[in-house]
Amino acid sequence: MNSLELDALQLSMSNHARALYSIYLAPKGYASKGKLTLSYQDIMQFLNSKEEIVTLGRQVNSLLKELDNVGLIRIEDDQSYKRSLNKQIIHLPLSVSKEISSIATDKHQSFVKMNVSWRPDADLFEQLCQLVGVIDKGYSADEIGEYIAYWLGYPEKQFTDYQWTQKFVLNIKQRRQRQPVNKEQTKIGHQWITPQAGLEIDDNVKQLVEKYSGKS
């Protein structure tokens, strides 16, 4: 298991979801170059080997969605966690991400606190977006302002630059999978995006940080 997968497994998820990926999905994904066909029967047999944990397909989907939320798996645009994924193909993007390792190496070296001037490394940000399936590989002042403001509220937390960027990318993905925040947004696949949105970060970020920090 590579460092990208290990970092993702440390993010918020249930132990059952963590075990499902580490022991069941990942080995099968390695053998099939990062994708596999799901079998609810096999997954239930694995999870229920010692005690009954899941008995329904929607419970399996709930665990899979946890893994999707941290970028460990990805489903196709025409698939949904609200429908059966049994016998469907899913992707394990981080399991085959060799090309990102060289860029991420120096981003694992030191742990730092969040600060108001933090910005993600452009190359790392773009590649992580590609890996976890973020469609619009840009971010708005609102998105980074809220993210920085949130973590400034936890000064005891320290992460590597890679981990800060990874968390930011996943935060963006989850944010865009929710309902649109304005009428201009269009749904593409599972995500709501703003047409022509891009890397337009201006001096208002500091003001946004102060604004959102004031809410806490």
Q: What is the pLDDT of residues 179-198, one digit of tens each?
A: 555 555 555 455 445 544 44
CB 120 within 8 A of CB 164: yes
Q: Based on the domain organization, do 140 and 74 belong to the same domain?
A: no
Lowest mean pLDDT among 26-40, 90-104, 158-172: 90-104
Q: Based on the domain organization, do 113 and 90 belong to the same domain?
A: no
Query: Of 64, 81, 96, which closes a domain?
Result: 96
pLDDT at 136: 80
Q: Based on the domain organization, do 105 and 206 belong to the same domain?
A: yes
Q: Based on the domain organization, do 46 and 70 belong to the same domain?
A: yes
Question: What b/e readout covers 94-118, taking b as 16+ CB neighbours within 10 angstroms?
Answer: bbebeebeeebeebeeeeeebeeeb
pLDDT at 153: 92
22-79 pLDDT, tens digit each: 999 999 988 878 889 999 999 999 999 989 999 999 999 999 999 998 889 989 888 9
pLDDT at 73: 92
Q: Based on the domain organization, do 44 and 147 belong to the same domain?
A: no
Give the CATH number for residue 83.
1.10.10
Q: Based on the domain organization, do 89 and 154 belong to the same domain?
A: no
Average pLDDT, the chain: 81
Query: Of 96, 126, 143, which closes a domain?
Result: 96
Q: Based on the domain organization, do 91 and 102 belong to the same domain?
A: no
The kind and range of the H/E element at 7 are helix 3-9
Closest by Cα among 88, 75, 79, 92 to 39: 88
The confidence band for 200, taking pLDDT boundaries of 50, 70 and 90, is: very low
The better pLDDT of the pair 21, 5 is held by 21
Q: Based on the domain organization, do 28 and 91 belong to the same domain?
A: yes
Q: Based on the domain organization, do 115 and 209 belong to the same domain?
A: yes
Whether residue 132 has pLDDT greater than 90: no
Q: Based on the domain organization, do 90 and 103 belong to the same domain?
A: no
pLDDT at 31: 80
Q: Based on the domain organization, do 181 and 124 belong to the same domain?
A: yes
For residues 107-136, average pLDDT: 85
Give the CATH number for residue 166.
1.10.8.1180
Tell me which residue range forms the domain holding 79: 3-96
The better pLDDT of the pair 100, 68 is held by 68
As for how many domains the chain has, the answer is: 2
pLDDT at 148: 94
pLDDT at 29: 85
For residues 152-168, average pLDDT: 90
For residues 133-155, average pLDDT: 88
57 vs 158: CA distance, rounded Å? 38
The kind and range of the H/E element at 127 are helix 122-132
Classify 48 as helix, strand or coil.
Answer: coil
Query: Of 39, 68, 96, which closes a domain?
Result: 96
Q: Based on the domain organization, do 178 and 201 belong to the same domain?
A: yes
